[in-house]
Amino acid sequence: MNALQINEHLIQLVRNERKITGEILQNISLFQKYSGFLKLDYPSMMSYLTRHLGYFENSAMFHGNQEAKCQKA
């Protein structure tokens, strides 16, 4: 692969990442709306995101903040 091919591949990966991130945020929002974390015996959404899904705490906070922004929109 040359630099231009790698660049094109990176562009496609970023597009895919944005799409997947959007889907994740929508599902986090639905999960929180239905209090799914409580039904799975987690005391908070943060606990669910870090312990069950394996997000690092700063990533979980980011997803929680993004999900809250989506709900306001």
**pTM for the full predicted model:** 0.70
Number of separate domains in the chain: 1
Instruction: Say if residue 44's pLDDT is above 80.
Output: yes
Using one digit for the tens of pLDDT, what is the confidence trace for 47-64? Answer: 999 999 998 888 777 666
Q: Domain limits at 47?
A: 3-72
pLDDT at residue 65 tops 90 = no
Mean pLDDT of 17-25: 93
Instruction: Measure the CA angle with vertex 55, ends 44 and 32; round to 5°.
Output: 35
